[in-house]
Amino acid sequence: MVRRSGRRPGNQDTRSSILEAARTAFAEKGFDRVSVRAIAADAGVDAALVHHYFGTKDKLFLAVMNAPINPAELVPQALQGPRGQAGERLVRLVLSIWDSPAGAAALAVFRSALSNEWTARLLREFVIVQVLRRAVTELAIDPAEAPLRAGLVATQMAGLIVTRYVLKIEPLPSTDPELLVAAIGPNVQRFLLDPLPASVDNRAELS
């Protein structure tokens, strides 16, 4: 029997091939530098099959991450309201996810990222592109400042996740979520919207 060549038909093997190609592409190049067409080519399928199985590139990325939530839906909802309380609402969103049944899946990804560079790259892309970029967009933050502000916010969120859910340093695991929102929210708010400190060079000139 002659083996047929060319594009794979649509089946479960095709879906797995697309996910594997996407996982590699996102980890190696980052979300922004990867196209659906390139992923399809790496998987040996037509780009239409990628859209058939996953829809958009964002949804394909969420499938690669096995994400328990969709930030495109949750982040805008969390940031609706007064800008002066955006930090608290963002911390409340993180806690609500990690304290819910979806938190188990999120924790598995987070633990894997601590020991696996490929997963760490994907998690960085997820946090930066899917969560923090959406947050700074919703708040209309200066694009020139957005990367630094997003990174500073990440220090608070990652620290909260590690201490409360991974290392479980008491009393944080037992602390009421609203107390953590009140304690950590102002720091996140400051990193999001308060004026950034002057650079080291500028401070030296002013002194």
pLDDT level of residue 22 (50, 70, 90 thresholds)? very high
The pairs formed by 131-138 with CB atoms below 8 angstroms and a separation of 24 or more are 131/71, 131/75, 134/71, 134/72, 134/75, 134/76, 135/75, 135/79, 135/86, 135/90, 135/192, 136/192, 138/75, 138/76, 138/79
**Average pLDDT, stretch 95-99?**
93
Tally of CB atoms within 10 A around 8: 15
Q: Please give the pLDDT value at position 1.
A: 39
Query: What's the pLDDT tens digit per position in 57-94?
Result: 999 999 998 887 888 888 898 888 999 999 999 999 99
CATH superfamily of domain region 12-65: Homeodomain-like (1.10.10.60)
Query: What's the pLDDT tens digit per position in 72-82?
Result: 888 898 888 99
Residue position matching structure tokens 């797995």: 16
CATH 1.10.357.10 is right for the domain spanning 71-195: yes
Q: Is the dihedral of CA 27, 31, 32, 37 positive or negative?
A: positive
pLDDT level of residue 12 (50, 70, 90 thresholds)? confident
Domain segments of the chain as ranges:
12-65, 71-195
Query: What's the pLDDT tens digit per position in 149-197?
Result: 989 999 999 999 999 999 999 999 999 999 999 999 999 999 999 999 8
